[in-house]
């Protein structure tokens, strides 16, 4: 079914990607592969000649935070805006790191660390907290919630994607950390169903076919194809 004329995926109208993460911009551009054209957040603000107020991500769920980012940036920029809120859920930790995945080592606080250093600290905390958890109980999943919001009163689009796996055992036959094609928790996350490679060992093509963002992107495009989004 063709996408509705009002959809940016049909008109090739630009959509602001509400993220300053260059890894995410590259990944999302590949995932939507010409169906949506993204403008980086900073570039959109420069075009409008405005200084953006960064939304406070006060939600307790991925859905709430994705909606906060998408709606507030869409309102400020007067452009359609796609935001995602993503993170890692580990069953043995009661779903943590969850919504504070990107700042887990500091309990959600922004300390001004470089992304690489922050990732290293987050990974170290996860490894430490799982030190007594056996292999079969280290079940985890990456979660991605995407929200597309408009600057007017059109309904928001909200979808969910997941990527199943488990956290490997450190220094046991070299399970983790492994791989350099990723960021965040990717070097710790063994991909199901065979758990033979980490997410950071997947090629970009493999990851873009299987990841939580891939699943959410497919769901978003399917949702935009429905008549209620005209």
Ordered by start, the domain boundaries in the chain are: 8-229
Q: How confident is the model at residue 63 (pLDDT cuts 50, 70, 90)?
A: very high
pLDDT at res. 5: 40
End-to-end CA distance of the chain: 13
Mean pLDDT within 156-172: 93
Q: What is the CATH number of domain 8-229?
A: 3.90.950.10
Mean pLDDT within 10-28: 78
Q: How confident is the model at residue 21 (pLDDT cuts 50, 70, 90)?
A: confident
Q: Which of 10-19, 119-128, 132-141, 145-154 has the lowest mean pLDDT?
A: 10-19
Active site residue 85: yes
Q: How confident is the model at residue 9 (pLDDT cuts 50, 70, 90)?
A: low
Q: Above 60 in pLDDT, residue 12?
A: no
Residue 109 CB coordination number (10 Å) = 9
Residue 46 CB coordination number (10 Å) = 12
- Which residues are 213's β-sheet partners? none
Give residue-wise pLDDT tens across range 167-221: 999 977 778 999 999 889 999 999 989 999 999 999 988 988 899 999 999 999 9
Spatial CB neighbours of 86, under 8 Å, sequence gap ≥ 6: 62, 101, 142, 143, 144, 145, 212, 213
Give residue-wise pLDDT tens across range 98-119: 999 999 999 999 899 998 999 9
Mean pLDDT within 57-75: 95
Q: What share of the chain is helix, strand, coil (3-state, %, to 5)?
A: 45, 20, 35
Q: How confident is the model at residue 87 (pLDDT cuts 50, 70, 90)?
A: very high
Spatial CB neighbours of 178, under 8 Å, sequence gap ≥ 6: 168, 187, 197, 198, 200, 201
* Cα distance between residue 77 and residue 49, in whole Å: 10
pTM: 0.86
- Looking only at the bridges linking them, the beta strands covering 139-149 and 81-90 are antiparallel
| CA neighbor of 24 nearest in space, from 40, 36, 13 | 40
Is residue 88 a contact partner of residue 167, using CB atoms and an 8 Å limit?
A: no
Q: Above 70 in pLDDT, residue 7?
A: no
Annotated active-site residue in 85, 107, 186, 194: 85
Q: How confident is the model at residue 225 (pLDDT cuts 50, 70, 90)?
A: confident
Mean pLDDT within 151-165: 92
Is residue 169 a contact partner of residue 190, using CB atoms and an 8 Å limit?
A: no
């Amino acid at each position: 079914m063709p996408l509705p004329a009002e959809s940016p995926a049909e008109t090739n109208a630009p959509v602001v990607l509400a993220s300053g993460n260059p890894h995410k911009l590259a990944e999302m551009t590949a995932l939507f592969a010409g169906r949506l054209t993204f403008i980086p957040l900073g570039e959109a603000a420069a075009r409008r000649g405005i200084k953006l107020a960064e939304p406070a991500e006060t939600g307790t769920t991925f859905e709430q935070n994705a909606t906060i980012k998408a709606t507030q940036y869409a309102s400020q920029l007067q452009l359609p805006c796609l935001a995602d809120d993503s993170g890692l859920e580990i069953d043995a930790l009661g779903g943590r790191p969850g919504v504070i995945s990107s700042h887990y080592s500091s309990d959600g606080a922004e300390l001004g660390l470089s992304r690489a250093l922050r990732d290293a600290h987050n990974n170290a905390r996860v490894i430490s907290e799982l030190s007594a958890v056996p292999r079969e109980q280290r079940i985890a999943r990456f979660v991605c919630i995407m929200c597309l919001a408009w600057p007017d009163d059109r309904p928001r689009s909200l979808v969910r994607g997941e990527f199943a796996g488990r956290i490997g055992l450190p220094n046991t036959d070299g399970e983790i950390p492994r791989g350099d094609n990723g960021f965040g928790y990717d070097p710790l996350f063994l991909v199901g169903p065979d758990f033979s490679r980490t997410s950071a060992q997947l090629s970009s093509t493999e990851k873009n076919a299987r990841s939580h963002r891939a699943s959410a992107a497919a769901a978003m495009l399917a949702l935009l194809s429905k008549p209620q989004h005209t």
